Amino acid sequence: MHDHALMEGTTIVCVKRDGRVAMAGDGQVTLGAQVIKSSARKVRRIKGKDRGDVIAGFAGSTADAMTLLERFEKQLDEQHGNLLRAASALMKDWRTDKYLRRLEAMMIVADNSDVFLLSGAGDILEPENGVAAIGSGGGFAQAAAFALIAQTGLSADEIARKSIEIASKICIYTNDSIIMEAIG
């Protein structure tokens, strides 16, 4: 049985603009109708000796997301930093491994040139417009990012941060304790 309430605990947005990629996430962890923590770190920078920096953000069950993040980092090393190959290898494992296919989480991964949204359904989605968002407040953050890109000259960093701030005013599962990572 899949508990979709697990997806109602976060907001992650990734914005690619002018050669820079910024990913921001809120810090709220919710269990049912109760806030358990307000400063969780759901956006991470993954470093490697043979590759450039990669940023990753996750939504869903924390234990599931951390398992996927560890697997993704291993795949990045095995694929010598090739983001698409690492994402493809993770998706193959996620869909075929008995244990992994039960994990309930979503991820956004990005490097200097690519942004991918990864789901347990086996999806590797590349946004056409430079904005990807996941989690319960993802739609709000994504809409805010689209408007800010169209109507302002703000940087990717500023747009990512403001998008989470806007989502936090609308989504009860999102707060304004923002963690952000950027590359480029």
CATH number reported for the structural domain that contains residue 166 in this entry: 3.60.20.10
Q: What is the per-residue pLDDT for 49? A: 56
Q: Is 10 a catalytic residue?
A: yes
Q: What is the per-residue pLDDT for 50? A: 59
Q: What is the per-residue pLDDT for 8? A: 55
The model's pTM is 0.90
Per-10-residue mean pLDDT of the chain, 184 residues long, equals 51 96 94 86 80 87 82 91 93 79 84 91 89 95 98 98 97 94 94
Token pair in block for residue 1: 């049985």
Token pair in block for residue 14: 């990734």
Give the residue numbers spanning the domain of 127: 4-183
DSSP state of 178: -
- The one-letter amino acid code at 136 reads S
What are the tens digits of pLDDT across the range 38-92?
A: 898 999 998 765 567 899 999 887 778 788 889 899 999 999 989 999 999 998 8
Split into its structural domains, the chain has a count of: 1
The partner residues of 134 in beta bridges, in order of sequence, read: 12
Q: What is the per-residue pLDDT for 6? A: 43
Positive or negative, the Cα torsion across 62, 72, 124, 168? positive
Radius of gyration, CA atoms only, the chain: 15
Q: What is the largest CA-CA distance in the chain?
A: 47
How is 84-149 classified by DSSP, letter by letter?
HHHHHHHHHHHHH-TTGGG--EEEEEE-SS-EEEEETTS-EE--TTSEEEEETTHHHHHHHHHHHH
